[in-house]
Structure 1
Amino acid sequence: MQSRTLTRLALALGISLSTGLMATAAQAAPMIIKFSHVVAATAPKGQGALKFKELAEAALPGKVEVQVFPNSQLFGDGKEMEALLLGDVQMIAPSLSKFDRYTKKLQVFDLPFLFDDMDAVDRFQASEVGQGLLDSMKSKGIKGLAYWHNGMKQLSTNKDKLTRPEDIKGLKFRIQSSDVLEAQFRQLGANPQKLAFSEVYQALQTGVVDGQENTWSNIYTQKLHEVQKTIAITNHGDIDYMVITNAGWWDGLPDDIRAGLSKAMAGATEYANKLAADINERDHQRIAKAGAAKIQTLSKEDVAAWRKAMKPVWEKFEGQIGKDVIEAAQASNKS
């Protein structure tokens, strides 16, 4: 009898200890945060995601585990937004041009010849209006956390001259899928052609299109300078990303977790943006050294002519973007 009692007691203690250990383990398990993106891990965006992982896990040891999935390992461009809203992934970083179905305000970054340079973009993004755009999609369940840079766009063509708006009249230009970018080239009498990024080199090589617009790093890595005669330093637009998360998930985080992630994101943003600037400058010099394409610099008068030609595009989208947003962007050019 005593033996059976001792056995029952041992079993009870075993179950109790097991339950306690399971509860402790569950309590200690870190929160999994999945960060998915579509570029290589070595790209500035890829490096920024890895830096965020490093900083977040250091700030919140044992509380969070950030899993980074580069190169569309989880979801491609077409599926990542849906996955974010469903909670299958917690963070993604799409191009700003891909948000027009959620808010028209972010089209401000596609407006041509609006910003003087990347410093002006930085000032605008850090301004009250720029920071407000991070929350412009909250009603759709999307919370913006930070802007990450790719860089300023340059124009290139298979022609010898590219300094004034009339130099691209009648030419075919590859564009991303964007109403603003389509209007930009139509305003100049050029013919915009929507093509996937992976198709641009062959399209330029075979003459399907005559020109394109891109950052120095994109031009160099895709070898677009090898199939173009002229690249003009226009800095006429911005290709950037917004790191976003599910608004409901973010708002539901414990205060200490949200604060730690915010701090980590700030550090990762500074790191990624510095890296993007360095890589663009390096690739600019590489393209110049290669000598395959002639690089042209625009004078102040040239830039003024482009801005004048582009004003109708600004006016066309003012109602969608907001006059206050455009004016704040213009003001950022005054350092």
Structure 2
Amino acid sequence: MKKMKKLFLGALALVMMFTLAACGNSEKTEGSGSGAESDGVQEITIKIAHVVAENTPKHQGALKMKEVIEKESDGKIKVQVYPNSSLFGDKDEYQNLVANNVQFILPDMSKLVGNDPGFNIPAMPFLFESDEAANAFWDGEKGQEIFKRLEKDGVLGMAMWPNGAKHMTNDKKAIKKPGDLDGMKIRTQGGQLLEAIYAELGAGSASIPFGELYTALQQGTVDGQENTFSNIESKKFDEVQKYMTIMGHTRVDYALLTNTKFWEGLNDETKAIVQKGVDEGTKLARESAKKLNDDALAKLKDNGQVEINELSDAEIEEFKKTLEPIYNEWAEKIGKDIIEDAESK
């Protein structure tokens, strides 16, 4: 009996040894982030999802992240990029990031204003004079402070990727002063701040899905819209609009976000590789956005289908003066210190 008991205990010990060995060699996937204490590059799969097409700065930046991360990790880290809402859409990507079902997303900041009013910064009128000024703000202390406010959700803000400054088109008249907008109906991305801006200018606003905007302009559902040069040119809005005003009054900017638990679960070596991918992706996305908008403006001029007017400094000041009540109200909501920092860039 004692002999049988010894044989049984010996067999049990062997089984436990093999089980532990198998567990130790298991590969973690889907950005689980476990094992941060281990040495060497962790073998993980990272998902990056966004809602726009492949021919955009956002997608090119995401592909750069994939290229750098996979190369620097010698293929130990796999990166999967999902464009065109093919994994998650606008309505559910943030919740899935919180759940770590995806490790990086790139939402329009206007989609984050419900999480924190600081993400209204791109919609603040005439706050930034250039892409470089906007980049400097989000890279700086106050921009990073806004990103940090998402940590309560288990989300970490990594960087701002720009689409660029917005300009206005319409089918009624050249816009040169605030009064020219009186009675018009303008399509916007939506949100209380943009609605307030156009109400102050005497115009109505409507939130129409971007994919339906060409038809809405063509049919006169709205008189005009605001967008970046690249969006205006690529969607051929100049075919159904007579006038374009170069204003740069508001912006479209994206936030590169990751899951906090995923990020904290990376060991130092793995984290350094992923951070390098983020840095290189950010650099390319910013360069691509500027080039795309410059090229789009040149094409719009060559097309000759829309009359293009650029506001002078004096005309911009007139718009700023008219919008001063909006500016003061929203500076209180966002934070005067944040607005002052943005103005200093």
Same fold (TM over 0.5): yes
Aligned mate of 1:182, from 173, 192, 195: 195
- Do structure 1's residue 294 and structure 2's residue 302 form an aligned pair? no
Residues 29, 62 of structure 1: 8 Å contact kept: no
- Do structure 1's residue 224 and structure 2's residue 237 form an aligned pair? yes
1:276-332 CA deviation, whole Å, 9 max, x = no partner? 100110011101111111110111110111111122111121222101111111111
Could you tell me which residue of structure 1 aligns to residue 45 of structure 2?
32
Q: Kindly state the Cα deviation for residue 177 of structure 1 after the two structures are TM-superposed.
A: 2.1
- Do structure 1's residue 303 and structure 2's residue 304 form an aligned pair? no
1:212-241 CA deviation, whole Å, 9 max, x = no partner? 000000101111111111111101111010
The within-5 A match list for 1:91-240 is: 91-240=104-253
TM-score computed with the length of structure 2 as normaliser: 0.88
Q: Kindly state the Cα deviation for residue 132 of structure 1 after the two structures are TM-superposed.
A: 2.2
Residues 163, 254 of structure 2: 8 Å contact kept: yes
- Paired residue type of 1:275: S
Residues 113, 235 of structure 1: 8 Å contact kept: yes
- Do structure 1's residue 266 and structure 2's residue 259 form an aligned pair? no
Gaps of 5+ in 1: 1-12
- Paired residue type of 1:26: E
Secondary structure of 2:87's aligned partner: coil
Root-mean-square deviation (Å) = 2.2
Q: Kindly state the Cα deviation for residue 137 of structure 1 after the two structures are TM-superposed.
A: 1.0
- Paired residue type of 1:145: M
Residues 238, 300 of structure 2: 8 Å contact kept: yes
Could you tell me which residue of structure 2 aligns to residue 57 of structure 1?
70
Corresponding residue pairs, total? 321
Going from structure 1 to structure 2, the CA distance change for 1:106 and 1:26 (only over 3 Å counts) comes to closer
Q: Distance in 2 between matches of 1:24 and 1:191?
A: 62
Q: Kindly state the Cα deviation for residue 160 of structure 1 after the two structures are TM-superposed.
A: 2.9
Q: Distance in 2 between matches of 1:318 and 1:160?
A: 31
Q: Kindly state the Cα deviation for residue 22 of structure 1 after the two structures are TM-superposed.
A: 8.1
Q: Distance in 2 between matches of 1:26 and 1:247?
A: 21
Q: Kindly state the Cα deviation for residue 16 of structure 1 after the two structures are TM-superposed.
A: 8.6
Q: Kindly state the Cα deviation for residue 98 of structure 1 after the two structures are TM-superposed.
A: 0.6
1:32-66 CA deviation, whole Å, 9 max, x = no partner? 11111111122110111000001111222243111
Secondary structure of 1:77's aligned partner: coil
- Paired residue type of 2:225: Q
- Do structure 1's residue 328 and structure 2's residue 329 form an aligned pair? no
- Paired residue type of 1:295: I
Q: Distance in 2 between matches of 1:18 and 1:191?
A: 67
Secondary structure of 2:169's aligned partner: strand
Q: Distance in 2 between matches of 1:125 and 1:78?
A: 24
Q: Distance in 1 between matches of 2:290 and 2:321?
A: 28
1:136-170 CA deviation, whole Å, 9 max, x = no partner? 21112211111101111001111232111111111
Going from structure 1 to structure 2, the CA distance change for 1:176 and 1:19 (only over 3 Å counts) comes to same
Could you tell me which residue of structure 2 aligns to residue 6 of structure 1?
none
Q: Kindly state the Cα deviation for residue 19 of structure 1 after the two structures are TM-superposed.
A: 8.6
- Paired residue type of 1:164: K
Secondary structure of 2:309's aligned partner: strand
Secondary structure of 2:323's aligned partner: helix
Residues 231, 294 of structure 1: 8 Å contact kept: yes
Going from structure 1 to structure 2, the CA distance change for 1:305 and 1:268 (only over 3 Å counts) comes to same
Gaps of 5+ in 2: 1-13, 29-40
Aligned mate of 2:327, from 275, 295, 314: 314
- Paired residue type of 1:124: F
Could you tell me which residue of structure 2 aligns to residue 43 of structure 1?
56
What is the percentage of aligned positions where both structures have the same residue? 37
TM-score computed with the length of structure 1 as normaliser: 0.90
1:91-121 CA deviation, whole Å, 9 max, x = no partner? 1000011101111111111111111122221
Deviant stretches of 4+, over 3 Å: 15-29
Secondary structure of 2:91's aligned partner: coil
Q: Distance in 2 between matches of 1:39 and 1:146?
A: 18
Q: Kindly state the Cα deviation for residue 250 of structure 1 after the two structures are TM-superposed.
A: 1.4
Q: Distance in 1 between matches of 2:75 and 2:241?
A: 52
Q: Kindly state the Cα deviation for residue 122 of structure 1 after the two structures are TM-superposed.
A: 2.0
1:173-202 CA deviation, whole Å, 9 max, x = no partner? 001121111111011010011111111111
Q: Distance in 2 between matches of 1:18 and 1:247?
A: 31
